[in-house]
Structure 1
Amino acid sequence: MTKDKPMDILLRQDRDHIAHLTLNAPDRLNALSDAMLAALQGALDQIADDTAIRAVIIAGNGKAFCAGHDLREMQAGRQAGDGGAAYFADLFARCAAVMQRIQSMPQPVIAQVHGIATAAGCQLVATCDLAIAADDTRFGVNGVNIGLFCSTPMVALTRNIPRKAAFEMLTTGRFIHTDEATRLGLINRAVPATDLADETHNLAQTIAAKLPVAVKIGKSAFYDQAQLSTAEAYAYTSAVMVENMMVRDTDEGISAFLEKRAPDWS
């Protein structure tokens, strides 16, 4: 099923229970403009309620994955009577809502990254549940180079990579390549650019083949338990395991495994 139009700022194509979202503003390096953020929010909200979709891939058209916020739009916002303060507050709130939506939706979201992922674009990579990158991709939270510390991208970054590595990137504006991004945990792995789409789709297919309700329960618990102490996390996840065990299809899956047959999942 295809849901895209050539001129749309965000393209959607569904295949194999996977929603492929493509940032489609290559002339702006797929910047997270007002229109792009609105399109992403709308698509993610729609997909979250779509039980036919079991995984999501976010990619970018053109030579870059995403170069962050649209600086031209941001500067235009300064024309308001308050110098842009209200617009900037709203912009960063809308961006934060998109990032939080990615992690709150039931389906795992995979970033398919190429070219560059900078500032809020790097934030998007760090926010996605998984990330596969072309082996020549560069990542940076380089706002400091133009006098704007990447404070909101810092939230996702510091939850992905060691703090000292994150702080160095944030304060120096230094770009890292895929080998370092993999070692630090920003991405899962890097592959040749020619294999990027297939590798990402194959990962999404592997996830889509699992019991959807189990993945939904697990994704929610994955983020929730990370905010708790060890004792609290064990108490919480024990309750989650009980919830999962009470699902009819989980009973069927375990029985099928023991009986050495394919599960008859509803």
Structure 2
Amino acid sequence: MTVSTTEPELVTRTDNDGSVTLTMNNPKRRNALSGAMMTALKDAFDKIAKETTVRCVILAAEGPVFCAGHDLKEMNGITECDQHASLFTQCSDLMMTIVSLPQPVIARVRGMATAAGCQLVASCDLAVAANSAKFATPGVNIGLFCSTPMVALSRNIARKHAMRMLLTGDPINAETAFSMGLVSDVVGDEELEEHTNALAARIAARSGMTVRLGKQAFYKQLEMPLSQAYSYASDVMTANMQKHDAREGIGAFIEKRHPSWRHE
């Protein structure tokens, strides 16, 4: 296993056999999404997007808080409208980077994930939460409705669940987040790292080509009318069938052997 650093003071990177863990590393500021933190994360994801040897990404955090959302001190220190617009655009770009990343991203959540931190979890493809994790969109409590977190939240959970979180600001626990569909797994705090690593390893063991193609298709078809989605998905499967790994995987299944992926 090799360990390298993207932005030592903010984001660290650990590589492990086809998967990468990016860790937000500013616990003193509760891993808030300052401009610098968002830049560090986006730079790390942009680099990973070009690395075909990486087949899964874990997004984690140091300290007792996963992510407290935007850095309110930084936001309050900005007076110009265009500066606020630039900060929110930067946040939206980061979330879109995660969604459009070729590799699946798993959020590994311990502690609180609030506002844009909850948005960060919702933007990941999967999320594993410790029992102690909590989630909230509390902007309404300080006069700033969580409008951009609402975009990711409303695409993960039912409307009335989303509106309850947005209108009250009340936190929900990990089990409630699971029942709503905000997270995919809930485990004991002591099992969080092992469980998430095992999940990433299972994904990384699949054909990288198939996973990349499937993730892209999943998000594209979601925005289409039903008949268009089926037409598009049929085209994707047709293209998929022409790939080496599809032929290898089907052949291996028929021959009752393990496939030998080329990730192409």
Q: Note whether the superposition's TM-score is higher than 0.5.
A: yes
In the alignment, what sits opposite 1:112?
A: 108
Structure 2 CA distance for partners of 1:151 and 1:3, relative to 1, 3 Å:
same
Give yes or no for contact 2:210–2:245 (8 Å, CA) kept in 1. no
1:182-226 residue CA offsets vs partner (Å, 9 max, x unmatched): 000000121111110111111100000000000000000000000
SS of corresponding position for 1:110: strand
Structure 2 counterpart of 1:143, from 139, 143, 150? 139
The equivalences for 1:205-216 within 5 A come to 205-216=201-212
Give the CA deviation at 1:136.
1.1
Relative to the length of structure 1, the TM-score reads 0.96
1:8-65 residue CA offsets vs partner (Å, 9 max, x unmatched): 2101111121110000110010000011000011000000001111000001101100
Q: Aligned partners of 2:56, 2:83: CA distance in 1, in Å? A: 33
Q: Does 1:66 align with 2:62?
A: no
Q: Aligned partners of 1:5, 1:56: CA distance in 2, in Å? A: 14
Give the CA deviation at 1:5.
7.6
1:127-178 residue CA offsets vs partner (Å, 9 max, x unmatched): 0000001101110000110000000000000000000110111011111001
Q: Aligned partners of 1:168, 1:48: CA distance in 2, in Å? A: 35
In the alignment, what sits opposite 1:123?
A: 119
Give the CA deviation at 1:261.
1.4
Q: Aligned partners of 1:222, 1:249: CA distance in 2, in Å? A: 19
In the alignment, what sits opposite 1:92?
A: 88
Q: Does 1:47 align with 2:55?
A: no
Q: Aligned partners of 2:261, 2:184: CA distance in 1, in Å? A: 30
Q: Does 1:224 align with 2:220?
A: yes
Relative to the length of structure 2, the TM-score reads 0.97
Structure 2 CA distance for partners of 1:252 and 1:6, relative to 1, 3 Å:
closer
Q: Does 1:25 align with 2:26?
A: yes
Long gaps (5+) in structure 2: none
Structure 2 CA distance for partners of 1:64 and 1:50, relative to 1, 3 Å:
same
Structure 2 CA distance for partners of 1:252 and 1:9, relative to 1, 3 Å:
same
In the alignment, what sits opposite 1:239?
A: 235
Q: Aligned partners of 1:8, 1:97: CA distance in 2, in Å? A: 22
Structure 2 CA distance for partners of 1:10 and 1:192, relative to 1, 3 Å:
same
Q: Aligned partners of 2:126, 2:6: CA distance in 1, in Å? A: 27
Structure 2 CA distance for partners of 1:2 and 1:94, relative to 1, 3 Å:
same
* RMSD of Structure 2 on Structure 1 (CA): 1.0
How many residues are treated as equivalent by the alignment? 261
Long gaps (5+) in structure 1: 79-83
SS of corresponding position for 2:78: helix
Give the CA deviation at 1:264.
2.5
Q: Aligned partners of 1:178, 1:6: CA distance in 2, in Å? A: 30
In the alignment, what sits opposite 1:81?
A: none
| 2:66 counterpart letter in structure 1 | F
Give yes or no for contact 2:138–2:166 (8 Å, CA) kept in 1. yes
In the alignment, what sits opposite 2:194?
A: 198
